[in-house]
Amino acid sequence: MRKPTYEELERRVQDLERLTGQLIDTAMDQEHHELFDLAVICNISQALASTMDLDELLLIVIDEVNKALLTEGSGVLLYDENRGDLYWRQVKDARKILATQTEILRFPMDSSIAGWVFQHNESAIVNDTSKDSRYYPGISAKSGFEIHKVLQVPLRSPEKTIGVLMAMNKIGGDFTEQDEALLSSMASSVALAVENATFYKKLKQSRDALEMLYRSSMAVTATMDLDHLLEVIISDLRSAMETEAGGVLLYDERREDLYWREIQDTRGLISSAGMDLRLPIEGSISGEVFKLGESALINDPSINPLFFRAFEELTGLVIRNEIIVPLNTREKTIGCLVVMNKKEGRFSEDDVQLLTSLAGVVALAVENTTFFEELMKSYRDLENMNRVKSKVLNHLSHELRTPLAIIGGTLINMEKKLLEKGIADFDNALARMNRHIQSLSRLESQVESIIMTGYSWEKRYITGFLQSALDLMDVQSEWTPEIKNAAAVIHKWLEKTFPTRHDRLDLIDMGEFGQSIGQFVRKRADEQKRKVSLNFDMEPGKLLIPTHVLQAIMEGLIRNAIEATPDGGNVTVTGRTKGDRYLLKVKDTGVGIPDKDKELIFEGFYPVQDTENYSSRRPYSFNAGGKGIDLLRIRMFSELYGFRLSFSSKRCPYLMEHGVESSDVAESCSNCENYADCPENGGSEFIVDFALTDTNNIEQKTT
C-alpha cells in the first residue's frame, strides 16, 4: 500500500474537520444553538464581573470564542495610538504559534482586513483570504500560521472604536452570519472590559503617581546620598508612568553641556557608554528645554530638527516619544528630568504635570546636595585652618618660651651687675622691660592653655550637667509632683525635637542576605570596571533588624572599602557566629585612613579620601571622594539598634607623601613594583558586632 503524501494527509484532515462540523451543526437544532450562544455570553459576563485583570479576562473570552465557533485560533487586537497600527493584546491558536510572536505580528491600518474593520467600524466575513485584496499575508509569512478564513468584528466603546475581535480558520465549514452575531455580542463585553480596565488603570496610575511623589519627598529628607536618591526616584517614576527609560540631566558649568547623573531603561540598552554621552546645549531638545526653562512633550522626536540622534546610535534605544521638563531651583535652572517611550499609547499633558511636580522634588534634592557639599568643603577648609591655627599656636608657644626665659634671665643679670657698679639710671628702663616680659609670658601661658584644653571641657561639662539634672529630676519626682511634671515636659520636648524612628524588625538570615548583597555589589563594581577581588564568606545566623538598615550597613561598608582599594587589591567580607554574637567584618587592602581622621570618621560629613572632584566620579570608583555619610548612618543605626561598631586601619605611608588618584596605583606609584606590593602597605577592617536572635523568643521581641 502506497504511503500518502503530506498534502494528501492535510486534505484528509480538512475533510474530517468539515465532516465533524457538519455533524455538530446537524446534531444541534436552532433552539440548542441559541441556548449554547446564551451560555457563552453568560460565561463571558460572569468573567467580566469576576476580575479587573484585562489579560486574564481576554484569555477567557478567547477560549469561549474558540469553543463556540470551532476555530483554530482567535484573539483581540487593540489600536496603538503611538505607532498607528493594531497589535495583539491576547491571542491563542491550537498550535501555540502566534502567542510567542506578538511583538512582531502587527497589522497595518491600510493593507489588512483588521485595519479595514477598525477604520470602517464594520464586521468582515472572509472565507477565502486568498481572494480578498484586503488580506495582509505578512502575518502568515512571519509566523508560519496560515490564515484561510477570518471573521472580524470591531470593538466599539461609547466614544470610539478601540480594536478588533478576530476568529481564524473555522473547523468544518465557513463562518456564517450567525457566527458574526455571536462574535459581535462577545465584542460588546470585550469593549466594556477594555474600557473598565483602562479606567481602572488610570486610577491606579494616579494613585501610584501620588505615592511616588510622597515617597520621593520623604526620601529627600532621609538621605544626602544623591546618586542613591536619584536611582530610587527614577525607578519609581518609570514604574508609575510605565515608561521604558528615564533619567536626570544636570548642567556642567565647566564644560557648558548636560550630562547624565542618573539614567535607567527596561532592557539594559543604556550602558556606561550611554551615561557618558553628553548632550550639547545648542543642538538638542534637552538643551532647548534647559535654556528656555519650559517643558517639552514630544510624541515623535525623530521629526524634530533638534533631536540628538547620537544618543540612539550609541545606546541602541529607539526613542518613540519623550517628555523633558526643566529642573528649576529658586535661582536658576540646573538640568532636566526626562522620560522616554511610554509602553502603551502616547504621553499626555497629565504626564507632563506629574513629571513637573516630581521635577521640583528632584531639583530640591540636587540643590540640598549642592549646599551639603559646599558646607562640607567649608567644614574641611575650616578644619584645615584649625590645624594651621593649632600649628601656629604650638609653634608660637615653643618659640616664645625659650627666648623669654633667656631674656628674663639676662635682664636679671644686667640689673644685678648695674647695682654692683652703683648705676641706677636704668631702673625705669629695666622695669618697663620686665613688665613686657611678664606680658609675653602670660601670652605664652594662654596659648599653651588653648592648645591643651580648647572647648572640649566646656562641652563635656554642659552635656554632663544636663544629663545629671534630668536624672536628678527623675529621682525627685517620686516625692515632688511639680518636678515630676517638669521632667515630663522635658522628656516630651526631647522626644518631639529628637524623635525616635521605629521601623519594622525583620528576621534575616545572614548567609542568604550576604549572597544577595554580594551579587549587587559585584554588579555595581563591574559597571565601573573595577579590578578588585571581592570575597564573601558569610555563615548562617539570624538577626532581628530592619532589612533596609542591614542593607545600608553592609553596602556602605563594602562600597567604602572598594572605593579605598586600588585595582589589584582585595576586599573580604566575612560573617561568623561567636557565642551569642554575630561578627560582620569588612576588610580591605586599600590606602587606609589617616591617623588624624580616625577619631572623626564616625562623626559624619568627614571624607577619608583626598579627592575633591566628586562630581566627575561614580560610586565604587577608586578614590571616589565619599562624603563620610555612610559611616555616620551606620553609627546612628548602632545607637538605635544596639550593635557595636569598631575599626582598625593602617595608612599607606607613601600616600602620606605623594597623593595618587589613579585606580591602577600599583603601576602609577613608584614605591610599588607590582600588584603584590600595594596590599601590604595599607588597609582597613571594620567590625560590626550584632546580637544573635533567639528564634524561640522572636514573637515576643517583635511585639
Give the pLDDT confidence of 474-513 residue by residue, as tens digits: 554 444 555 556 556 655 554 554 444 456 889 999 999 9
24 CB-near residues (< 8 Å, 6+ apart): 70, 172
Which of 311, 334, 314 has the alpha carbon at shortest distance from 322?
311
Dihedral sign computed on CA atoms, order 622, 624, 629, 633: negative
Structural domain range at position 153:
15-201
The DSSP secondary-structure symbol of 112 reads S
Q: What is the mean pLDDT of residues 325-331?
A: 86
Q: Do 655 and 527 fall within a single domain?
A: yes
**String of DSSP letters for 571-613:** EEEEEEEETTEEEEEEEE-S----GGGTTTGGGSS--SS----
Residue 584 clears pLDDT 90, i.e. is over it: yes
- Distance CA(338)–CA(355), nearest Å, equals 8
- Distance CA(507)–CA(543), nearest Å, equals 6
CB atoms within 10 A of CB 485: 11
Q: Which residues of 41-80 are buried (b: 16+ CB within 10 A; e: fewer)?
A: bebbeebbeeeeebeebbbbbbebbbebbbbbbbbbbbbe
Residue 373 in domain: no
| H or E element, residue 256 | none
Residue 385 in domain: no
- Distance CA(488)–CA(662), nearest Å, equals 57
Residue 19 clears pLDDT 60, i.e. is over it: no
- Distance CA(244)–CA(476), nearest Å, equals 65
Do 430 and 414 meet the contact criterion of CB atoms below 8 Å apart?
A: yes
- Distance CA(475)–CA(31), nearest Å, equals 93
Place of cell 476580575: 51
Task: Please state whether beta strands 124-126 and 150-156 pair in parallel, antiparallel, or not at all (unpaired).
Answer: antiparallel
Dihedral sign computed on CA atoms, order 512, 513, 516, 517: negative
Q: Do 161 and 294 fall within a single domain?
A: no
Residue 465 clears pLDDT 70, i.e. is over it: no
Q: Do 605 and 528 fall within a single domain?
A: yes
List residues bridging with 88 in a β-sheet.
77
**Last residue of one domain, picked from the residues 201, 233, 259:** 201
Q: Do 291 and 169 fall within a single domain?
A: no
Query: What type of residue sits at position 560?
Result: N
**Last residue of one domain, picked from the residues 334, 364, 394:** 364
The DSSP secondary-structure symbol of 561 reads H
Sheet holding 644-650, edge to edge: 533-538, 570-578, 581-588, 683-691, 644-650
pLDDT category, 612, cuts 50, 70, 90? very low
Residue predicted with more confidence, 462 or 541: 541
Tell me how many helices (H) and strands (E) the chain has: 19, 18
Predicted local confidence at residue 391, as pLDDT: 63
The CA-CA-CA angle for residues 461, 378, 450, to 5°, reads: 35
Residue 172 in domain: yes
Q: Do 166 and 257 fall within a single domain?
A: no
Residue 488 in domain: no
Q: Domain total for the chain?
A: 3
Per-residue pLDDT tens over the stretch 58-94: 888 888 888 878 888 998 898 888 778 898 888 888 8
Residue 448 in domain: no
**Last residue of one domain, picked from the residues 142, 175, 201:** 201
| pTM (2 d.p.) | 0.39
Question: What 3-state class would DSSP assign to 231?
Answer: helix
Assign residue 59 the CATH number of its domain: 3.30.450.40
Do 590 and 621 meet the contact criterion of CB atoms below 8 Å apart?
A: no
C-alpha cell belonging to residue 75: 484573539
Q: What is the mean pLDDT of residues 301-323?
A: 84
List residues bridging with 124 in a β-sheet.
152
Q: Do 164 and 262 fall within a single domain?
A: no
Predicted local confidence at residue 420, as pLDDT: 80
Q: Do 47 and 177 fall within a single domain?
A: yes
Q: What Cα–Cα distance (Å) separates residue 635 from each residue in 145, 511, 575, 631?
A: 64, 23, 19, 6
Q: Do 579 and 653 fall within a single domain?
A: yes
Predicted local confidence at residue 459, as pLDDT: 39
The DSSP secondary-structure symbol of 374 reads H
Residue 404 in domain: no
Do 641 and 543 meet the contact criterion of CB atoms below 8 Å apart?
A: no
C-alpha cell belonging to residue 427: 631702673
- Distance CA(553)–CA(638), nearest Å, equals 10
Q: Do 682 and 551 fall within a single domain?
A: yes
Place of cell 565604587: 620
Q: Do 41 and 168 fall within a single domain?
A: yes
Predicted local confidence at residue 313, as pLDDT: 78
670-678, Cβ contacts within 8 angstroms, sequence gap of 24 or more? 675/567, 675/568, 678/566, 678/568, 678/569, 678/589, 678/652
C-alpha cell belonging to residue 311: 544618543
Residue 165 clears pLDDT 70, i.e. is over it: yes
Place of cell 588653648: 450
Which of 590, 479, 596, 494 has the alpha carbon at shortest distance from 533?
590
Residue 689 clears pLDDT 90, i.e. is over it: yes
**String of DSSP letters for 661-693:** --S-HHHH-TT-SSTTTGGGT-EEEEEEEEEPP
| Distance from the first to the final alpha carbon of the chain | 82
Length of the chain: 703
Residue 458 clears pLDDT 50, i.e. is over it: no
- Distance CA(264)–CA(270), nearest Å, equals 7
Q: Do 311 and 180 fall within a single domain?
A: no
Residue 250 in domain: yes
Do 546 and 703 meet the contact criterion of CB atoms below 8 Å apart?
A: no
Which of 474, 240, 458, 446 has the alpha carbon at shortest distance from 342?
240
Q: Do 58 and 119 fall within a single domain?
A: yes
Predicted local confidence at residue 538, as pLDDT: 92
pLDDT category, 100, cuts 50, 70, 90? confident
Predicted local confidence at residue 472, as pLDDT: 52
- Distance CA(136)–CA(130), nearest Å, equals 10
DSSP E strands: which ranges in 461-589?
A: 506-509, 533-538, 542-545, 570-578, 581-588
User: Which among 361-370, 388-397, 511-520, 627-636 has the top mean pLDDT?
Assistant: 511-520
Assign residue 514 the CATH number of its domain: 3.30.565.10
